C-alpha cells in the first residue's frame, strides 16, 4: 500500500478526513509468544508471528486525518509521515513504525501496547514532534534512538518501558510511572543498529539524550531509573516530599555515610548502609551478598558471568551526575525510611 490520502474525497469531520472507527485487516493466523530482546534480561511482553503477511504501508502521507477509535493493530508502516492525525482511543498495539515522522499527532488514550515506537533496528529511527501520548497504554513498547520533541506523556501507562537511546526535548510526564528507564546515551544498541552505525560511520556514544526542559513535576517516579551518565540538570521534578533529587552525588553520599556510620546503630545502620551502597555506591556489599548466594547454586563459570553482568549494571547505574528517587524505593525497612528522610535533609543543605 503506497501513496497519499491527502486531498481525497473522504468526508470531513472537524476539518479532518473522517476515517473514525476504520479497521485495517490483520493476519488471519496469528500466534503470540514471549519476547526477550538481545542484551536485556526481561521480557518485553508478547511478540506476534504470522502465517499470513501483515499489512504493510509504505511511503504514505497521512495529513489532517481522524482515525479515532480505529483499529490498525499488527500493521507495519515504513517511511510514512503522519501530520495532524487524531488516533484518540485507537487500537495501535503490536504495530511497527519504521523511519516514520509524526507531527501534531494525538494518540491520547490509544492502546500502543507492545508497539515498536522507535523504529526498526538497523534503519533510521522514527521521530515525534508535538505528539500527545497522554493516557495512552505504553506498556512493553519498544524504542531505539528516536527524538521526542514537545511531546506529552501525561498519565500514560508505563511497564517495562526502556527508552534506550531516545532523546527528549520539552516533554512532559505526569501521573504514576513504573518500570521505566531513561538513558544518557544509546548504551546498548541493538545488534542491527550497531551494523547500521558501522556502515554509516555513526558512534552510538554521540547519540546523547539532552533531557532538555523535561517536566516531571506532576509525575510519581515510582520505579523510574536514570542511567548512563544522564544529565538531569535541565529537568523539573516534584517537590512533594516523596521524591529525592540528588544534584551532588559525591557530597550527599559522603555526608549520609558519615551520619549513618557514626550516629546510627544496629539493624537500621546496616540496612541504611546497604541502601547507600545500592543506590549511590559501588554495590560492593550487594555484590558480595550475591556472590555468596550464587556460589551455593551455580557453577563457577555461571557465577563469574552473573557477577560480571552485575558490575556492568553498577557502572551504568552509577555513571550519573544527578538522579531522582521515589520514597517507596526506601520503604522496605525502618532503616530505609529513616535514610530517605536523612537524604532529603542532606540533599537540601
Cα→Cα distances 17→79, 100, 104, 127, 212, Å: 21, 20, 15, 23, 35
Rounded to 10 deg, the angle between the 266-279 and 284-295 helix axes is 100
Q: 2 pLDDT exceeds 50? A: no
Mean pLDDT value of segment 325-342: 90
Q: Which of 161-165, 166-170, 283-287, 340-344 has the lowest mean pLDDT?
A: 283-287
Q: Rounded mean pLDDT of the chain?
A: 86
Residue bearing the bigger pLDDT, 24 or 40: 24
DSSP-derived pairing of the beta strands 76-78 and 96-98:
parallel
DSSP 274: H
Model pLDDT for residues 76-110, shown as the tens digit of each residue: 999 999 999 999 999 999 999 999 999 999 999 99
Look up the pTM and report it: 0.82
Residue bearing the bigger pLDDT, 292 or 142: 142
Mean pLDDT value of segment 152-179: 96
Q: Sketch out the chain's domains with CATH numbers.
A: 2-238 (2.160.20.80), 249-347 (no CATH)
Model pLDDT for residues 268-324, shown as the tens digit of each residue: 999 898 888 877 766 677 677 778 888 888 898 888 887 777 666 655 555 555 688
Q: 34 pLDDT exceeds 70? A: no
Amino acid at each position: 500500500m503506497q501513496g497519499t490520502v491527502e486531498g481525497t474525497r473522504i468526508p470531513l469531520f472537524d476539518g479532518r478526513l473522517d476515517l473514525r472507527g476504520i479497521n485495517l485487516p490483520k493476519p488471519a493466523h496469528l500466534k503470540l509468544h514471549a519476547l526477550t530482546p538481545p542484551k536485556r534480561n526481561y521480557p518485553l511482553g508478547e511478540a506476534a508471528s504470522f502465517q499470513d503477511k501483515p499489512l504493510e504501508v509504505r511511503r504514505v502521507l497521512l495529513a489532517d486525518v481522524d482515525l479515532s477509535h480505529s483499529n490498525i493493530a499488527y500493521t507495519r508502516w515504513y517511511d510514512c509521515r503522519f501530520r495532524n492525525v487524531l488516533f484518540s482511543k485507537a487500537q495501535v498495539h503490536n504495530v511497527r513504525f519504521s523511519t516514520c515522522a509524526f507531527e501534531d499527532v494525538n494518540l491520547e488514550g490509544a492502546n500502543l501496547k507492545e508497539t515498536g515506537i522507535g523504529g526498526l533496528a538497523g534503519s533510521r529511527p522514527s521521530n515525534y514532534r508535538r505528539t500527545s501520548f497522554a493516557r495512552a497504554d505504553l506498556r512493553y513498547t519498544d524504542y531505539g534512538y528516536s527524538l521526542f520533541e514537545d511531546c506529552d506523556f501525561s498519565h500514560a501507562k508505563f511497564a517495562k518501558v526502556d527508552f534506550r537511546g531516545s532523546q527528549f526535548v520539552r516533554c512532559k510526564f505526569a501521573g504514576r510511572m513504573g518500570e521505566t528507564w531513561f538513558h544518557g546515551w544509546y548504551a546498548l544498541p541493538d545488534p542491527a543498529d550497531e551494523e547500521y552505525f558501522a556502515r554509516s560511520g555513526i558512534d552510538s556514544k554521540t547519540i546523547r539524550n539532552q533531557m532538555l526542559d523535561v517536566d516531571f513535576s506532576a509525575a510519581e517516579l515510582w520505579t523510574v531509573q536514570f542511567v548512563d551518565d544522564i544529565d538531569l540538570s535541565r529537568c523539573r521534578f516534584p517537590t512533594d516530599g516523596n521524591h529525592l533529587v540528588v544534584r551532588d552525588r559525591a557530597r550527599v553520599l559522603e555526608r549520609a555515610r558519615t551520619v549513618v556510620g557514626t550516629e546510627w546503630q544496629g539493624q537500621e545502620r546496616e540496612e541504611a548502609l546497604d541502601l547507600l551502597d545500592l543506590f549511590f555506591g559501588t554495590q560492593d556489599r550487594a555484590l558480595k551478598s550475591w556472590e555468596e548466594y550464587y556460589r551455593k547454586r551455580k557453577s563457577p563459570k555461571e557465577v563469574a558471568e552473573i557477577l560480571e553482568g552485575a558490575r556492568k549494571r553498577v557502572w551504568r547505574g552509577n555513571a550519573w551526575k544527578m538522579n531522582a528517587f521515589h520514597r517507596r524505593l526506601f520503604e522496605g525497612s525502618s532503616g530505609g525510611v529513616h535514610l530517605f528522610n536523612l537524604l532529603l535533609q542532606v540533599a537540601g543543605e
